Structure 1
Amino acid sequence: MWLTIRPSTRPSTPLSPESRDRIVSRFFAALPPVGPQRVLTLITAASAVFSGIYLSTVVLYFTRIVHISPMRVGIGLSVAGAVSIVVSILAGKLSDRRGPLGVLRVSLIFAACGTLGFLTVGEFAWYLVVIPATAAAQTCVQLMISTIINRVVTERANEFRAYIRSILNVGIAIGIGLSAVAVQWDSANFYHAAIVIGAGCVAGAALLVGRLPALGPVALEPGAGGQRWAVLRDRPYLALTVLDGVLSLQYRIQSVAIPLWIIGATTAPRWSIAAIDMLNIVIVVFFQVRASRNVATARAGGAALRRAGWAFLLACIVLAAAEGQSGWLAVLTLASGAAVLSVGELWQTAGGFEVSNALAPPEAIGEYLGVFGTGLRLADALGPALLTWLCIGIGVAGWYVAGLILLAAGLLAPVIVAKAESRRDGHTLVAAS
């Protein structure tokens, strides 16, 4: 035998203190150095685990355990999406005026309380209160993390944002894995345990906020104090928000169009849906930092968005080619298309992060990022219906149309970035004179 068990007079321990110390030291060695970046990483990881649990359990828990009809669950999620858009914009403005730490702490507390509120839902009316509150809090958490990064990370911020994106995906994957137990057993007790774990994660993150350096209101530049909602007059920035929202349809291709395409247009095994999701997570986790390394200016961000548009078009063409295929040929075609889609996601994430931050004035960073995030929220709200109609209802031609829409958004991005930079430079010259 390759393994033998030798008797010992000493009680055996599954893990020695030295081994535990070695594991702990390796864990912390993978984190940024002690300081704000490490705290932000831990907060992101905790909130991401919560997000994974939330995304994986909310629909099944409320339909199978609470017995709310699927249609009503969908209505609640749509309401939650609309509320999240409004609240994120207001939260961004509030963080500029009061500082982001308080908004982050309150958002984490609301997320914890809202998640625990799942356990008290017994009717649709209360569900319509709990779900929007939790979803809005979750949205504000991610917005405040981005805002704080702008305030405390001064060197290689683009790489740190990419690192945070990777941590976010790892945390979501862990949360989904924890939820899989509840989904598999389909038991109220397991669902309740997953919900409590999710609430505990964001509650723990709220405790970590106090370890971040104090961040007061942003310093207003001379003459800027009277400008209210300046972002609404910044047409190039609003245009970029719309373009990023169009490009963000790719997330719904991953989560909605591909699974329906696999089931309806191919005979690929259903496990390939989960395999493609894991492929996306692996690509993002391992390559997001590398893809973001040279995206350090708004112009480079616009170029990255253009590359993303081309990648999304190619991905749609390859995914459309899977129609009618079966077995391993279908799996390989779908995996190839999904891999190209994930590469496009790397470029879109890097480009979107850079242009949204580089083109936002420091005195209104929260306000601008709050508005920029509405593009993604609108894609979340409108994307499933649009892509189901194009890719599933129309078929192969619909995939081509979807790809061309994404390409058009990518090609327009560098043009709008150039206009935004010209506008910013013009305002700088006026202020200097």
Structure 2
Amino acid sequence: MSRPWRRTAPGERIPLGKRIPLGERIPGGRNGRRMLVVSFVDRVGSGLWGATAALYFTYAAGLTTAEIGLLLGVSGAIGIAGPPLGGALADRVPLRPLLITVQLVRAVASLALLTTTDLRLLLAIASLGGVGDRASSVLTKLYATRVAGPDRARYQAITRTAANSGWAVGGLIAAVALTGGSTAVYRWLLIGDALSFLASALITLGCAEPPSATRVVATSHPRGGGKGAEEPRDEQGWDVEARDEAARGEAVRKGAPAVPPPNPWRDRGYLTYTATEAVLFLDDSVFKIGLPLWAATATHAPHELVPLLLVLNNLLVVVFQVPLARFGATPHTARATLWPLAGAFLLGGTALAASTAGATWLAVGALVLAATAFTVAEMLHATISWELSVALAPAGAQGAYLGVHGLAQAVQRSVGPLAVTAAIAAGPLGWLGFGAGLAAMCGAQRHLVRDRGDGALSVAPVTVSEH
């Protein structure tokens, strides 16, 4: 009688009932585990500060509401330079020391906020911290991409689970601390944020430098053999054929004039792909601004429901992000998942539009459905985005390309609030159009990201005549 099996990793089968050591379940081995701890610790600090930043600047720094808006807006706009800057540097210098340096810059910037109440100095310090925050996000993603190799989609899902858990822990600590009612609490929370960056730098110091980008190949589709055949991999899980091809190419290039790496700023196809990503990241603004404002001002739902919807979002991500990682396990599955993503966006917009009709119980049900649909969209898009942004980037310029891709989230943070408030102002039809627009963008991205038919994907060329 055959024994039941369950698949745990590409090419590995383990009998049901057998416990799998934690180190074997997490891609990247010890380095992968350490970076998960970094993500958790980093987000604990972000939870401490993110929940109290406006309060600190109001009660501890003594800024007016207009000054706080100027401070956060300008520093956020300057922070957009962080992803491309960090990505470009990552292709030229070792990644681990660069990531440690950025974490230390973030720590110094956080502590420096405690030293002044002058708006101009605060603006300079917050801008430096904003650049560091955005650069750190891209560098952490790049490290994970290289250390996790072909299992990067599953590793990204585990990372998002750890990050969401860290946010929850930091937020809970901040909520408990604020019951003290003293302005000194805000300073201690900011110190806690700085300490989280120092701790992240120390943990990263114990990690090894990840493999170079040319060894990180994640094609799970066989070049030969029958369906489901596995490609030969070395002891670290890298594609042996791709590794050897890279080695041969390097040998041929020795003695020849250096060829400059691809430039993402001249790659119109990848830039267009990044622009579509900026739109699909709008689910972030839905949860931070759109859903709370809509529930409180346009529906009969009790205001107490709003924080519960955010808790629902957090719990769903923690529970389901890892299982949903299989929808981005390869570039092809990621591209195919754009259709379910379109459905989730359309359902979320429709549910928000329906939340204004009928009794309180109907409003509550529609808002819960909308929060669930947008959370599913968030998880699916995170998986798709992680895989496609890496798969479409040339190995020799992976850092620069991922840095450009990081602009999508940075830009969304600036224009997202305008988009969701416009949907709110337009009423139920606004949310219907919002959901339909995101669904249409999923279709546009699927058309843009083409299947070449040789086991790989590419970005469709974009010319001036196509605009």
User: Scaled by the length of structure 1, what TM-score is found?
Assistant: 0.86
Write the distance in 1 (CA, Å) between the matches of 2:346 and 2:181: 39
Q: Which residue of 1 aligns with 2:73?
A: 78
Q: Which residue of 2 aligns with 1:39?
A: 34
**AA of the residue aligned to 1:110:** V
Is 1:101–1:209's contact at 8 Å kept on the other side of the alignment? yes
Q: Which residue of 1 aligns with 2:16?
A: none
Structure 1 residues 34-433: aligned runs within 5 Å: 35-215=30-210, 222=253, 225-227=258-260, 230-323=263-356, 325=358, 327-391=360-424, 393-418=425-450, 423=458
**AA of the residue aligned to 2:45:** F
Q: Which residue of 1 aligns with 2:227?
A: none
**AA of the residue aligned to 1:321:** A
**AA of the residue aligned to 1:278:** V
Is 1:243–1:409's contact at 8 Å kept on the other side of the alignment? yes
Paired residue secondary structure (1:268):
coil
Cα deviation code 1:153-202 (max 9, x no counterpart): 12422101110011111111111112223444442121112111111111
Distance 1:422 1:265, change over 3 A: closer
**AA of the residue aligned to 2:295:** I
Q: How many angstroms does 1:423 deviate by?
A: 4.8
Q: How many angstroms does 1:203 deviate by?
A: 0.5
After the TM superposition, which of the residue ranges 412-421 and 401-410 deviates more from structure 2?
Answer: 412-421
**AA of the residue aligned to 1:385:** L
Is 2:44–2:196's contact at 8 Å kept on the other side of the alignment? yes
Paired residue secondary structure (1:159):
helix
**AA of the residue aligned to 2:99:** L
Cα deviation code 1:67-101 (max 9, x no counterpart): 21222212222222222221220111101100211
Is 2:448–2:460's contact at 8 Å kept on the other side of the alignment? no
Q: Which residue of 2 aligns with 1:8?
A: none
Q: How many angstroms does 1:304 deviate by?
A: 2.1
Cα deviation code 1:367-401 (max 9, x no counterpart): 1111001111111100101210222x111111111
Q: Percent identity?
A: 28
Distance 1:191 1:254, change over 3 A: same
Write the distance in 2 (CA, Å) between the matches of 1:196 and 1:69: 23
How many residues of Structure 1 are paired with residues of Structure 2 in the alignment? Answer: 399
Q: Which residue of 2 aligns with 1:431?
A: none
Q: How many angstroms does 1:111 deviate by?
A: 1.3
Write the distance in 1 (CA, Å) between the matches of 2:130 and 2:182: 24
Distance 1:216 1:90, change over 3 A: farther
Cα deviation code 1:319-345 (max 9, x no counterpart): 111115554432222111100111111
Structure 1 unaligned segments of length 5 or more: list them: 1-26, 427-433
After the TM superposition, which of the residue ranges 252-261 and 33-42 deviates more from structure 2?
Answer: 33-42
Write the distance in 2 (CA, Å) between the matches of 1:164 and 1:109: 21
**AA of the residue aligned to 2:276:** L
Structure 2 unaligned segments of length 5 or more: list them: 1-20, 215-245, 462-467
Distance 1:294 1:266, change over 3 A: closer
Q: Which residue of 2 aligns with 1:16?
A: none
**AA of the residue aligned to 1:356:** S
Q: How many angstroms does 1:252 deviate by?
A: 0.4
Is 1:181–1:190's contact at 8 Å kept on the other side of the alignment? no
Is 1:95–1:217's contact at 8 Å kept on the other side of the alignment? no
Q: How many angstroms does 1:249 deviate by?
A: 0.9
Greater fraction helix: 1
Cα deviation code 1:279-330 (max 9, x no counterpart): 0111111111111124222222222233212211110110111115554432
Write the distance in 1 (CA, Å) between the matches of 2:24 and 2:308: 26
Paired residue secondary structure (2:80):
helix
Is 2:142–2:399's contact at 8 Å kept on the other side of the alignment? yes
**AA of the residue aligned to 2:440:** A
Write the distance in 1 (CA, Å) between the matches of 2:257 and 2:362: 60
After the TM superposition, which of the residue ranges 190-199 and 296-305 deviates more from structure 2?
Answer: 296-305
After the TM superposition, which of the residue ranges 250-259 and 264-273 deviates more from structure 2?
Answer: 264-273
Distance 1:125 1:317, change over 3 A: same
Write the distance in 1 (CA, Å) between the matches of 2:309 and 2:93: 43
Cα deviation code 1:240-260 (max 9, x no counterpart): 111111011111011101111
Distance 1:320 1:189, change over 3 A: same
Write the distance in 2 (CA, Å) between the matches of 1:397 and 1:68: 38
Write the distance in 2 (CA, Å) between the matches of 1:29 and 1:329: 46
Is 1:266–1:325's contact at 8 Å kept on the other side of the alignment? no
**AA of the residue aligned to 2:410:** R
RMSD across aligned positions (CA): 2.5
Write the distance in 2 (CA, Å) between the matches of 1:161 and 1:404: 28
Distance 1:182 1:422, change over 3 A: closer
Q: How many angstroms does 1:135 deviate by?
A: 2.0
Q: How many angstroms does 1:416 deviate by?
A: 1.1
Runs of 4+ displaced beyond 6 Å: 27-31
Q: Which residue of 2 aligns with 1:429?
A: none
Is 1:44–1:168's contact at 8 Å kept on the other side of the alignment? yes
Paired residue secondary structure (2:356):
coil
Write the distance in 1 (CA, Å) between the matches of 2:458 and 2:391: 13
Q: How many angstroms does 1:234 deviate by?
A: 2.0
